[in-house]
Structure 1
Amino acid sequence: MKNTIQQYKPFLLFLGKFALTYLLLTFLYQSYLGQFDVKKAETDGFTKIVASQTEFLLQLVDNNSYTMPHLKEPSVKLFYHGKYIARIIEGCNAVSVMILFVAFVVAFTGKLKNTILFILIGLFVIHLLNIFRIALLSIALYHYPNLEHLLHGVVFPLFIYGVVFFLWVIWVNKYSSYASTTPSK
């Protein structure tokens, strides 16, 4: 048994760090969300920021793009060319994706400075690309409303998760402890 544990120690450490980080960040995020009353259609602040930044980006393309609070549910209505296109809900703010990203980077530990810097840069990249993702999705839905399921359910999630996967590959191969201990070919 001891030999088995020793043999799988790197994997078990990875799994433990990942689970602990993921659960801690998820707990903190859920505690944050708990401050908002869903029954009163209160939208969390970060989702409002994402909606506002998406509105700004869309206004660069069309002056008749705007957002407004949804009165019956905790979301923000998004209008493009003056037409109600979508609602931005808590799940659109990419925080759950960010939590997953951070947990993975922490699990594949690297030098503390590199880890913190990579996490901060990665969170910024994910946030920025999420804003572009929502804006592009809104434009696409305006022009191709019949493709909503494909665009919202497949193409754009693939985009955001693809970016996160790419960041993970960079982290593991360039900055994690694993990268420094693996011989180069």
Structure 2
Amino acid sequence: MQNNKTVILFLVKFFGTYALLFLLYSIYLSNSQKQLTFYSCDSVTEIVAKQSNFLINSFGYNSEIVQSNYELSYQVIIDKKPIARVIEGCNSISIIILFIAFIVAFSGKFKQTLLFILVGSLLIYLINVVRIAVITIALYKFPEYEYMLHDIFFPALIYGFTFMLWIVWVSKFSKQK
């Protein structure tokens, strides 16, 4: 009976946290994205695009970002050639929400949980900015590998990193093992 209670509590905490954060994020998106006479991405996506662009330029490429006139995205341009788009799904918020929901569901001491959520979320965000910069450069150099880079390798990188953080959390800090 205790095992069922533990599983049910995990599910309630996970889905409750996920639903709450997803609702808050959806409200944020509906208030920050514009699709009327012009397109305007939310500020998190804009910041991620700008930081990725800064990193691409730091690697020695001549890049810029431009808000698309046709969709909610930023075009990443290298040497005057459009290479990639940064959309809301690229800003890492959805995976951070998933990460937080899991950590809360396996919560430990309050201070440790909060600190791990903050540090883990920041690390996921930073890995994501690097991921966008590297995939853009890779697409610039090897456009024929777009599917492999965009749909397989780079998602595996960010989800694998998040999974690794979950394993660290459960094995080192969580009350439930």
TM-score, normalising length: structure 1: 0.91
Q: State the alpha-carbon separation in 2 of the partners of residues 164 and 63 from structure 1.
A: 29
Shift of 1:41: 1.4
Structure 2 match to 1:38: 35
> What secondary structure is seen at the aligned counterpart in 2 of 1:34?
helix
Q: State the alpha-carbon separation in 1 of the partners of residues 169 and 79 from structure 2.
A: 40
Structure 2 match to 1:8: 4
Partners of 1:62 and 1:81 within 8 A in 2: no
Q: State the alpha-carbon separation in 1 of the partners of residues 158 and 3 from structure 2.
A: 35
Q: Could you list the structure 1 runs, at least 4 aligned residues long, displaced by more than 4 angstroms after superposition.
A: none
Q: State the alpha-carbon separation in 1 of the partners of residues 29 and 60 from structure 2.
A: 32
Structure having the higher Rg: 1
Structure 2 match to 1:22: 18
TM-score, normalising length: structure 2: 0.95
Q: State the alpha-carbon separation in 1 of the partners of residues 176 and 43 from structure 2.
A: 37
Q: Which has the higher strand share?
A: 2
**Residue identity matched to 2:107:** T
Instruction: Point out the more displaced range, 62-71 or 43-52.
Output: 62-71
Aligned length: 175
RMSD across aligned positions (CA): 1.1
Among candidates 100, 103, 110, match of residue 102 of structure 1: 100
Among candidates 73, 86, 89, match of residue 88 of structure 1: 86
Q: State the alpha-carbon separation in 1 of the partners of residues 121 and 78 from structure 2.
A: 27
Alignment of 1:115-154 (within 5 A): 115-154=113-152
Q: State the alpha-carbon separation in 2 of the partners of residues 18 and 103 from structure 1.
A: 5
> What secondary structure is seen at the aligned counterpart in 1 of 2:71?
coil
**Residue identity matched to 2:16:** L
Shift of 1:63: 4.7
Structure 1 unaligned runs (5+)?
A: 180-185
Counterparts in 2 of 1:65 and 1:145: CA distance versus 1, 3 Å: same
Q: State the alpha-carbon separation in 2 of the partners of residues 148 and 49 from structure 1.
A: 24
Shift of 1:62: 2.4
Q: State the alpha-carbon separation in 1 of the partners of residues 143 and 61 from structure 2.
A: 21
Percentage identity across paired residues of the two chains:
46
Instruction: Point out the more displaced range, 130-139 or 77-86.
Output: 77-86
